[in-house]
Structure 1
Amino acid sequence: METILGHAQALVYTLLSLMPSAYQRDSLQAMLGLFLEAQGQPSPQHSLIKSGSALSRFLNEYAWPTRQVVRVVRRQIVQQLLQSAPKGRRPWLQVVVDLTTLEKCGKFKAFASLIRVLQGKRGLHLVVLYLVVGECRVPWSFRVWRGKHQRTAVQLAIRLIGSLPPALTSAFRVVILADTAFGSVAFLKAMRKRRYSVIVGVRCDRKLADGRCVSKLVKKGQQVRLEGLNFPVTISWLYLKRDGQLEKRFVLSTRPLKGSTITWWGRRRWSIEGFFKTIKHRFGLHRFAQQTLKGVYRWLMLCFLSFVLVHWVHRATHAKATPDWKVAATAALDALFPEVAACLALLQVERARSLLDSLGIAVHFVHLAELKT
């Protein structure tokens, strides 16, 4: 697993080399350092080593190659996923798709058309594609839902899945995991055309071809035909605890599987919910607070990148242990941005110097090169 850490370090060096000036390299490190503090408040004004206005200009104005950064990150993700694949029979690539809301209030003139209300929540609505191979899990891409009379969440999900590179789709067996919102006829037909297996939630009142509802089924793993589909699907169900009570959720598979197997795959979809909680509450995905569309896109991209770097460092140091994201982020900051970590440590000591003086403690910093001379 030590190669994963080298992989993360190589990615950071490459990204820094893409910055057109030393000033912007410093800004990139400072911005990623903010995300890697994992306090959920990575706003530029909270930076201790760069001014908030400098970081704001870095996000909103400066002409660094955003698309090239995205291409480099994706290329490294593909390499890491391929290296994480076990030998032998082609492993499964779990492609999890879901919609999340970055709630916002106030006015955003530069991208007001993107701030919509969905299910009572006002904000930026993202359809996110999340990839899982064994213990390796990374966000791949996202699209913004722009409201009614625009592309639906299902259409955006189909486009996202279509963006997966052939290097992945040929090396893995692909299974699509999604919730009930993506169980439409259009989505199932599009995935069948691509020959991808689909495990997706289904409404209890969904009609079968014979007029019955899904809720009337009594046997798990039963093959049925849904209204509007010209191919059979297999239905199972699972129970989730909600408000102290068990709630029955139906799941369908486009592959003929046992009911217990469909239930097992159906639970795997919830991995993206844990990702959403982490990326928001630890890395501050929803706190973009930028006034330009470019600034928002760069914020989201750097936030996703920070999650990937922390995940890789955690895998390199703790393998299969459940991550404490604050501890893992601190380790990633120390390993990937040691100069930023050192500056933050020195600033903390300086801020506490009056307290240390009152306790009779004197702290002096000496460079090791001076000691050698």
Structure 2
Amino acid sequence: LELLGEVPDAIRKRFRIRVLADSGFEAAVFLDGVRTLGFEFVVGVRATRRTTHPGQVTVADCEHGAWLELQNWPHDTLTLARVERGERTFFSVASELMTGDEVAAEGGKRWNIESFFKEGKHQFSLQQFALRTARGLDRWVLLVFLAFTLTMLHRSPDLSLEEAAGLALTLALPFLRLNVIFARLATDEEFLRQHGYSLKIARCNS
């Protein structure tokens, strides 16, 4: 919720924001927070999540596309989607009154987004990057897109994504390391001058 609260006002005014989340975010406090911010949501729910229907009816007892209210969150009428994946059934609810197929389609976008970032995380060795702060999340997103962009710039029909990433790393890493060194030397230039050193850097084109 803290991250959602940092969405710029310009974006809030221009776009209708819809939050996509899995069942780990089905708690009433999260749904309250999203609606308080003025956002819509499509959130996964457990099969055992109860509704306000008499007789302890759960979402698993309801049909695809049904309109319902959650027992501990009866503030909005929600639309339910059921998605069959093999032997498992996944459920999600939307704060907007849509068809069940529309809710399922919106929930499916979350899978695509998460797959992209998980692929980026492991393919580009970013799984150790700290995400404990909003700035950490911003840096991680930036690094994923940067790594993906560099990979695409070196992509060719005869290279796999992993091979293209390796080529991009081989070509780009020396420049990145050199830039770090040059920046440090520029910072210490006055210190070096005080001790009788004069540093000049020239690039030789081969």
TM-score, length-normalised on structure 2? Answer: 0.67
In the other structure, the counterpart of 1:251 is: 92
In the other structure, the counterpart of 2:191 is: none
Relative to structure 1, the CA distance from residue 184 to residue 283 in structure 2 (aligned partners, 3 Å threshold; closer, same or farther) is: same
Q: CA deviation at 1:328?
A: 4.8
Once the two structures are superposed, the pairs formed by residues 94-113 of structure 1 within 5 Å of their partners are none
The match for 1:213 among 48, 54, 58 is 58
Cα deviation, 1:104-153, whole Å, max 9, x if unaligned, reads: xxxxxxxxxxxxxxxxxxxxxxxxxxxxxxxxxxxxxxxxxxxxxxxxxx
Give secondary structure in 1 for the equivalent of 2:148.
helix
**Is 1:279–1:303's contact at 8 Å kept on the other side of the alignment?**
no
In the other structure, the counterpart of 2:69 is: 225
In the other structure, the counterpart of 2:146 is: 309
**Is 2:50–2:57's contact at 8 Å kept on the other side of the alignment?**
yes
In 2, the alpha carbon distance for the partners of 1:213 and 1:224 equals 10
Once the two structures are superposed, the pairs formed by residues 334-345 of structure 1 within 5 Å of their partners are 334=171, 339-340=175-176
Cα deviation, 1:43-73, whole Å, max 9, x if unaligned, reads: xxxxxxxxxxxxxxxxxxxxxxxxxxxxxxx
Q: CA deviation at 1:309?
A: 1.0
Q: CA deviation at 1:221?
A: 1.3
Relative to structure 1, the CA distance from residue 265 to residue 303 in structure 2 (aligned partners, 3 Å threshold; closer, same or farther) is: closer
Relative to structure 1, the CA distance from residue 304 to residue 193 in structure 2 (aligned partners, 3 Å threshold; closer, same or farther) is: closer
Cα deviation, 1:11-67, whole Å, max 9, x if unaligned, reads: xxxxxxxxxxxxxxxxxxxxxxxxxxxxxxxxxxxxxxxxxxxxxxxxxxxxxxxxx
Relative to structure 1, the CA distance from residue 298 to residue 215 in structure 2 (aligned partners, 3 Å threshold; closer, same or farther) is: closer
Gaps in structure 1 of 5+ consecutive residues? 1-157, 343-366
In 2, the alpha carbon distance for the partners of 1:181 and 1:226 equals 16
Q: CA deviation at 1:201?
A: 0.5
Once the two structures are superposed, the pairs formed by residues 46-85 of structure 1 within 5 Å of their partners are none
The match for 2:32 among 182, 189, 196 is 189
Q: How many residues align?
A: 172
Find runs of 4+ consecutive structure 1 residues off by over 6 angstroms: 297-301, 315-318
Q: CA deviation at 1:260?
A: 0.7
The match for 1:239 among 66, 77, 84 is 84
**Is 1:177–1:200's contact at 8 Å kept on the other side of the alignment?**
yes
In 2, the alpha carbon distance for the partners of 1:256 and 1:299 equals 35
In 2, the alpha carbon distance for the partners of 1:193 and 1:282 equals 37
Cα deviation, 1:201-253, whole Å, max 9, x if unaligned, reads: 01111111123111111x3211111112222111111022xxxx431001100
In 2, the alpha carbon distance for the partners of 1:326 and 1:168 equals 37
Cα deviation, 1:255-280, whole Å, max 9, x if unaligned, reads: 00111111111111113432453244
Give secondary structure in 1 for the equivalent of 2:87.
strand
Give secondary structure in 2 for the equivalent of 1:169.
helix
Moved more, 190-199 or 307-316: 307-316
The match for 1:265 among 106, 128, 131 is 106
* Matched-pair identity in %: 26
**Is 2:82–2:90's contact at 8 Å kept on the other side of the alignment?**
yes
2:47 maps to 1:178 = no
What's the Cα RMSD here?
Answer: 3.5
Specify the code of the residue in structure 1 equivalent to 2:68: V
In 2, the alpha carbon distance for the partners of 1:236 and 1:315 equals 36
**Is 1:284–1:303's contact at 8 Å kept on the other side of the alignment?**
no
In 2, the alpha carbon distance for the partners of 1:332 and 1:167 equals 36
Higher relative CO (Cα under 8 Å, sequence separation at least 6) belongs to 1
Specify the code of the residue in structure 2 equivalent to 1:268: K
In 2, the alpha carbon distance for the partners of 1:317 and 1:266 equals 33
